[in-house]
Structure 1
Amino acid sequence: MRFRASIVNVLTFSRIMQSIERLQKKCIMRFTEERMDIICNEDTDGGIQVWSQVKVDTLFEDYRIQSNANNEISLALAPEALLQALKSAMDASEVVMKLAKKNNHAVLNFSIVGMSHQQKRVLVSHDVRIDVLLPSDVAKLKEPLCPEPDIHIILPPLQKLRTVVDHMRQMSDVMMIEANHLGDLKISVENDDVMVDTKWTKCTIPTMGESIHVTFDSLTLEPTQDADREEPEPSRLFYVCLSIRSFIKFLSSHVVSTTTIACICEQHCIILYVYIGEAGDNGGVLTFYIPTRLND
C-alpha cells in the first residue's frame, strides 16, 4: 500500500477540514485514483452526516496511490489533528503528504518546506495518527436514504445565514426552514414569549421538473421525467424543523462555499450541497444531511 501527493491548494484543503472538524472526533477519508471522499457518519448530536467528494486535482499534484483494493485507501483520523497539520503548512512553498509508519503505527506524514525569518530553507515534519480501514468495513458505509426532495433552492451566502441563525439560537433549540417555488425562503424560531423569522425573496431555484444530481462526474441540475409527480402550488411553503446546533455546525462550511443548494424533504430531512468552486467547475461538493426534529 502506497500513497503520496503534493498539496498545491493548502488553503482550500484547510477550509474543507475546518468545515467538518466540529462534527465528530473522527472522520473517514477515502482516497481513490480520481477523488478524495470525506465521510462523517457516526451518531452525533442532531444526527448530522457529511458525505463529500473532492476531485484530486482540486488539491493535489504528483498524486500516487497503490493498493490491493482497486487502488483505494481508506483512513480514519481526527479532523482536528489534520487541520492543525494543514495550518502549519499554510505559508509553505512545498507540502508533501504520504503514508508512513511511526513507532509501529500508521500515520499521514506531512513534509513541509518553508522559509525562516532569516530566509533560510526550513523542513518541518508533521505526523497525523491514522487507522487504515479494511475494504470490507468501507463497503458497509452507506449514505442516508432520503425521499425525493419537495423543493431545492439556492441559499443566500452562508455567512449572512450564520449571522441570522447566531441571533436566533438564544431563543430556541429548534429552527424551521421553509421555501416555495416562487423563490421565498424563511427561517424562523419561536418560544413561549416570541416568534422571530427572517425572509428572503427571489432566491434562485431550478425550473419545476428538474432534479439535482450531485456526483463526482456531474455537479449540475439535470431534467428528470416523473409523470406521477404533481407540480405543487408555487406559493406553497415546504418546511423542515432542525436542531439549531446542527445547522450552525453546517454553517461552518461558509469558509469554503461558493454556491449552496438546499433540498427540503418535508418532515424528513434537509440535504445541503456546498460546492467547492463554482457549481459547474466540478471541483467537489460537501453534502450535509440533517434530519428533521420535532419542536417540543
Structure 2
Amino acid sequence: MRFKTSVRNIQTFSKLTASLSSLGKVAWVRLDDDNVRFTIIPETGTQVWAVLSIDSIFEDYTIQSAAQNNTINLELPLPPLHRALKSAINATSASIRLTKKDGVPVLSLTIITNTISSGNTANGFLNSANTDPFGDNAFREENLDANMGGDRETIVTQNIPIRVLTADSVEGIHEPRVREPDAHIVLPSLIQLKAISDRFTKLAMATTAGAGRGASTVAVPKLELAANMHGSLKLSISTDALNISSVWTGLTNPELDPRQVEDGEDGLEDHPSTKLKAAGPDAWSTVRIDGRDWGKVLSVGRLGGRVIACFADEHALILYVYLSNYDDGSDDSVLTASPPTKLYSQLS
C-alpha cells in the first residue's frame, strides 16, 4: 500500500479542513485513482459528503493498493490535519505520504520553507564608533559568505496518526437517499447568510432564556428556511416573544439537466420543482433547521465558490458547494452537506 502526493493548493486545502473540522472531528477519507472523498457522519448534527477532484488540491499524485481502483480508506482526525496545514500556508512546498512511525500508521506532512538568514555585513566600522576605520584592520580580508545573509531552506515534518480501514468496514457507508427536491436555488453570500442566521438564533435564545432559565438549558428554536422557484429565499425564526424574517430576491434557480433526471425530458415535466414553479412566487418549499448547527454548515463559505441549496419540503435540505478547480476549464469539485432535518430521524 502506497500513497504520496504534493499539495497543490495549500490554502484551499486548509480552508476545507477548517470547514470540515467545525462539523466533525473525525472523517472517513477514501483515496483512489480518480477522487479524494471526505465523509463525516456524526451521531448528531450535519452529515458531510465531499468529493474532490485530485487536481483541485494535489499534484504528483501516486497511489497503490491491492483494492480495486487502488482504493485506500482512512480514518483521519481533522483538527491535527488542519493545524498542520495552517503551518504550511507560507511554505514553498508541502507533500503528504502514508507511512508508519513506531509501527503506527501516520500521514506525514512535510513542509519546506525558505527563510532569509541575517548576516553581519553591518558589523565592523559601521557599528564600531570607537574603532578607527582607517586603522590597521581596515583592509582585513574576510569570507563573503560569513557576512552576507541568504536563503536558508527549512524542512519540517508533522505526523498525523490515522487508522487504515478495511474495505469491509466501510462497505455499508452510503450517502442518504433523498427524494427529488421541490426547489433549488443559488444561495447569496454564505458569510452574509451566516451573520444573519447567527443573529436570529442569538435573539431567539435570549428571548427564550428571559423566562429565568439558564441559556445553556434552553432548547434552541428552529430556523425556518424557505425557497421558491422565482428567485427568492426567506429566513425566519419565531418564538412567543419574537417573530423576524429576512428575504432575498433576484437569486438564480438553476435549470435542471434532463440527463440527470429520471425519464429525461418527460421526467422534467413532472419534476416537483417544475410544479412548484408553475404554482407561482407565493409557493414555497420549507425546512426547519437547528440554528447553531446551521451556523457551522455555513462555515463552508470561507471556501468561496457557488452554493446551491436543494429543498425537499419539510423533509431535507442539501447544500452543493462547488469549488473552483485550480485549472481553468476543468470540472467543478463538489462538496455536499446535509443539515439534520426529518430525513435523519427517518433513516436512523
Match of 1:218 in 2: none
Displacement of 1:16: 0.8
Displacement of 1:42: 2.6
| AA at the equivalent of 1:254 | G
Displacement of 1:117: 4.3
Moved more, 226-235 or 166-175: 226-235
1:1-296 correspondence runs (5 A)? 1-44=1-44, 47-70=45-68, 71-118=70-117, 119-170=151-202, 171-172=204-205, 173=220, 174-207=222-255, 210=257, 225-226=267-268, 228-229=270-271, 231-232=275-276, 233-235=279-281, 236-277=283-324, 281-292=330-341
Moved more, 236-245 or 109-118: 109-118
Displacement of 1:246: 1.5
| AA at the equivalent of 1:133 | L
| AA at the equivalent of 1:95 | A
Match of 1:217 in 2: none
**2:193 and 2:260 mapped to 1: Cα distance?**
24
Displacement of 1:93: 1.0
**1:271 and 1:130 mapped to 2: Cα distance?**
29
In structure 2, the CA distance between the partners of 1:268 and 1:105, relative to structure 1 (3 Å rule), is same
Structure 1 residues not aligned, in runs of 5+: 215-221
Residue-by-residue CA offset, 1:106-129 (whole Å, 9 max, x unaligned): 000011111234131001010011
Q: How does the TM-score come out when normalised to structure 1? A: 0.90
Displacement of 1:74: 1.0
Contact 2:37 2:51 in 1 (8 A): yes
Secondary structure of 2:80's counterpart equals: helix
**1:86 and 1:205 mapped to 2: Cα distance?**
36
Residue-by-residue CA offset, 1:170-209 (whole Å, 9 max, x unaligned): 11521000111111110001111111111001110024x6
Displacement of 1:247: 0.8
**2:330 and 2:301 mapped to 1: Cα distance?**
18
| AA at the equivalent of 2:233 | L
**2:311 and 2:247 mapped to 1: Cα distance?**
16
**1:105 and 1:188 mapped to 2: Cα distance?**
49
The structure richer in strand per residue is: 1
Displacement of 1:291: 2.9
**1:154 and 1:6 mapped to 2: Cα distance?**
33
In structure 2, the CA distance between the partners of 1:57 and 1:223, relative to structure 1 (3 Å rule), is farther
Structure 2 residues not aligned, in runs of 5+: 118-150, 206-219, 344-348
Q: Which entry has the higher C-alpha Rg, 1 or 2?
A: 2
Secondary structure of 1:14's counterpart equals: helix
Contact 1:26 1:76 in 2 (8 A): yes
Residue-by-residue CA offset, 1:55-82 (whole Å, 9 max, x unaligned): 0011111100000112011111111111
Contact 2:258 2:268 in 1 (8 A): no
| AA at the equivalent of 1:247 | W
The structure richer in helix per residue is: 2
**1:163 and 1:281 mapped to 2: Cα distance?**
32
Number of residue pairs aligned between Structure 1 and Structure 2: 284
Q: How does the TM-score come out when normalised to structure 2? A: 0.77
Displacement of 1:155: 0.3
**2:288 and 2:66 mapped to 1: Cα distance?**
44
Secondary structure of 1:250's counterpart equals: helix
Secondary structure of 1:5's counterpart equals: strand
**1:10 and 1:246 mapped to 2: Cα distance?**
27
Q: Among all aligned residue pairs of Structure 1 and Structure 2, give the percentage whose two residues are the same amino acid.
A: 33
In structure 2, the CA distance between the partners of 1:126 and 1:92, relative to structure 1 (3 Å rule), is same
**2:18 and 2:266 mapped to 1: Cα distance?**
35
Secondary structure of 1:161's counterpart equals: helix
Match of 1:219 in 2: none
**1:28 and 1:224 mapped to 2: Cα distance?**
38
